[in-house]
Amino acid sequence: MTERTVHCTFHNVSSDLVDIISSSIGIRTLSKQNNNQLSYSCSLLNARQIRSTLADSLGQYPQIWFSIDYSNQLNNFSSKFDKNFYMIDHIFFGSLYSIEKFFVHNTPLNERNHWKIKIYNKQTLIIESDEENSTIRLSIPLKYLHKEILVIDGENYSEIIFSYNLITIDLRTNNNKKIEKIYGNNPIVKTLNQCTNFLICLSPKIDADLFLDCLQLNYNYKIFYTTIVIQNNIYQWSINDLNWYQTNNTRYAISMLHSLGYVFDDKYLHNDILQNRMIELAEQDENYFYQISVKIFYELKKCHWLNLIEFFNKNHIKIINEHNLLYVSLIHITPTRLLIMPKEKTKGHRAIRYSIFQGINDFCIVYLKPDPPNIYFNDDNNNHMIEYFKQIFQTGIEFAGNCYYLFGASNSQIKDHSFWFIKASSLNEIHQKRQLLGQFDKILNIGTYVARLGLWFSKTDPTDIKFNYCSNENEFNYRVKHGEICIMMIADIERNNYCFTDGNGLVSKGLAKLINEKLNDNQQKNVIIPSAYQIRIAGCKGLIIIDPQSTFDQFYIKIRPSMKKFESNDWTLDICGYSRPTPSRLNNQFIWLLSDLGVSDKTFLRLQQRWFSKKPSRSNYSELINYILLFIIRICNQPNEKQQNYIHLVMIAIFQMFVN
């Protein structure tokens, strides 16, 4: 019986290595593919012989990877593996420096023994070490395990290198019989989240093959056999590495890449050519350097062996500058790690624009995120996780050579677990900066304090209109008469302990028009002016509507006591929103209400007729129908069951088109 052939591929083959592979392996029928690949078809036995002699024949070319496509050799090897733990001889954590080198890093787990591995519930890779004093369990969801797996074959063992984007760690000690998740303030979690790859050694080789067959046939992983070099790392990141980058943009970019861990650090620290190229590019064009760093940030997550020198030399990034938007530093904190993300676009808020501070570079926005695949935090009552987040809020976040502390958050931000941090040297300095925003000392309730402070962090559009505060009506009338932009306090309208004007003030017609021009940069005449604005000014919030007694020559706002939340002297107006036309529909409830108010039936019938007159006629569909019918004719020759169902659905759709 003739043995089936399998498709084999040599990867990362430059043109000068084609003849070397042919002569070393003894293959004369290599077919060149795209992306430096050579393909070859042979028997399964021959493919395994090439694999077993790879180190002898091509050991001096560790960049060459070899793969065997088993798709036509389906078997049931994996079923046994799914049910059993397999013992691991040793495990190392580190990063893939390139397609030909793996760096091993020191971790608290280097000295542990008795490791074993299992695929649990067809969803998670479990690696566990059970010793007398403690148990460590590493969990990696298969969806966060990269599909490319590297294998280095020994005489009777295989070393297997995995790439991962997420790992969770559980620990049991003598003091605690229950195994519990540990968080980002634990040294084990810190070091393993700096790593992006791990290497395990399985023996005998039959167990390794069983494991690899399971991953390849059941979970569609790609297995690459290689002679990649394993080497201990000798360099560590230092804050001094930032000193070569002088601007905020470039320092942020390099800090963002550094937050990825050893997958970037190793490539950067071990390659002087890369360092010089990046420093040179940062000095030439900081915006271009930042944009290409963002692209590398995402590409490194997908491909841990990415060649950064080629990336910096060959890629061209189109820089898009969006006016009226700010780019703010963005931090994601999960229960296990801290990531500096590409900057986030925002309209900004009053605190960012407050002249006392140094602008957008003084701020960063921090999101508390659950570890994937969770959408929500599932351990709200977990004291260890709460302590971890609390520690970050108290000690601050260091990046790009600066330290940032919690400053405040709007109400909507708190619901989204996001917060504004500001550059400072201590918590005491943070308190002093909050005092610059207003007088909050008399607010004793913590919830009220956070809400009042949060008024500074609502997303707003600036108008840059500064007001003169008038303490009495005579001063107000005099200044308004002379064309000044003024603001004053007027009384609320209250009856029977109810405030009818709660949170509502007045704006003059002239100022309403000026605000609209500032927001829309529109100087045209006959523009519809919004009749209401939602505002933030000083310590006040609320809605202002046009004062019908005002004129277009007057520029003022009248606020009420119910709008004032705290004392502040920054009388610069910001806008949260304003009234504008929005699409709406009449339903039965609206029609009944309007009818009771005297609207005639003819009005509703006229609106209905107007809608029908604007609805596309059936003739407009003729060209589309002809196209659909032509498509149906083409697939009607010998339709399968799926095509018959599709034709049926199309005919129903056409029928409904005419009926409606």
Residues 228 and 98 in one domain: yes
The answer on pLDDT for 174 being more than 80 is no
Query: Does any domain span residue 211?
Result: yes
Average of per-residue pLDDT across 365-377: 83
Give residue 78's pLDDT: 44
Residues 387 and 446 in one domain: yes
> In the chain, what percentage of residues exceed pLDDT 70?
87
Residue after which a domain boundary falls, among 578, 604, 634: 578
Rounded Cα distance between 340 and 256, Å, is 5
Q: Across 278-352, where does the E strand assignment appear?
A: 326-333, 338-346
In which band, very low, low, confident or very high, does the pLDDT at 641 lie, cut at 50, 70 and 90?
low
The mean pLDDT value of the chain amounts to: 87
Q: Which of 194-208, 304-318, 371-385 has the lowest mean pLDDT?
A: 371-385
Give residue 623's pLDDT: 60
> In the chain, what percentage of residues exceed pLDDT 90?
61
Residues 247 and 374 in one domain: no
Structure confidence by residue, pLDDT tens digits, 518-559 = 988 765 555 789 999 999 999 999 999 999 999 999 999 999
Query: Does any domain span residue 540?
Result: yes
Residues 48 and 114 in one domain: no
Give residue 180's pLDDT: 86
Q: Which of 74-78, 267-271, 635-639 has the lowest mean pLDDT?
A: 74-78
Rounded Cα distance between 78 and 216, Å, is 9
Average of per-residue pLDDT across 114-121: 91
Structure confidence by residue, pLDDT tens digits, 215-235 = 988 899 999 999 999 999 999
Q: Which of 119-128, 176-185, 461-470 has the lowest mean pLDDT?
A: 176-185
Structure confidence by residue, pLDDT tens digits, 232-271 = 999 999 989 999 999 999 999 999 999 999 999 999 999 9
Give residue 650's pLDDT: 62
- What's the first-to-final CA gap in the chain, in angstroms? 65
The boundaries of the domain holding residue 608 are 588-615
CA distances from 220 to 70, 143, 211 (A): 10, 11, 13
Residues 309 and 217 in one domain: no
Query: Does any domain span residue 542?
Result: yes
- For residues 527 and 491, the model is more confident at 491
Average of per-residue pLDDT across 339-365: 93
Query: Does any domain span residue 525?
Result: yes
Cα dihedral 488/494/499/504 (nearest 10) = -30
Residue after which a domain boundary falls, among 214, 232, 250: 232
The answer for 598, left when phi > 0, alpha when psi is -120 to 50, beta otherwise, is left
Query: Does any domain span residue 357?
Result: yes
Query: Does any domain span residue 321?
Result: no
Give residue 74's pLDDT: 56
The answer on pLDDT for 176 being more than 80 is no
